[in-house]
Amino acid sequence: MLKEGTGFSRVIICCGRVDLRKGIPGLTAYIRLNYGLSTTEKGTLFLFCGNRADRIKGLLFEGDGMLLLVKRLFAGNRFQWPRTPDEARELTAEQFRRLMDGFTIEGSIKEVFPKQQYHENSIVQERSKTASDPL
């Protein structure tokens, strides 16, 4: 359920480190005090990570009560958690899948816009000139 991201209308991660010994009251207070957000929006999943990036906690309001989720990865696996402490970020479905699969939230490949446009014909002409020049 958690890895597929089904049943959530929004996913918000609390960046940085949070004391995962906290339960529902402590995590709810943390969200209200640090980010000014309400935890009683139905279908909103709040995710937290502690010092060790091998486990996360989630807090979800289902309309009739709060659900506390815990996910602990096996040895050698870690979540790629953003560590900016003063930030709560809403994730897209793709970013959530990347996080649950162990990747960083942002992709590592960025689109590049070269300053000079090359055309196939000019590259072919340059190659033919250099090939015909004697050494």
The string of pLDDT tens digits covering residues 107-130 is 555 555 666 655 555 555 555 555
- State the pLDDT at residue 119: 57
Q: Which residue has the higher pLDDT, 101 or 42?
A: 42
- State the pLDDT at residue 106: 63
| Secondary structure of the chain as H, E, C letters | CCCCCCCCCEEEEECCCCCCCCCHHHHHHHHHHHHCCCCCCCCEEEEEECCCCCEEEEEEECCCCEEEEEEECCCCCCCCCCCCCCCEEEECHHHHHHHHCCCCCCCCCCCCCCCCCCCHHHHHHHHHHHHHCCC
- pLDDT tens readout for residues 40-99: 989 899 999 888 888 889 999 888 899 998 888 888 877 777 777 666 777 777 777 777
- State the pLDDT at residue 55: 87
Give the pTM. 0.67
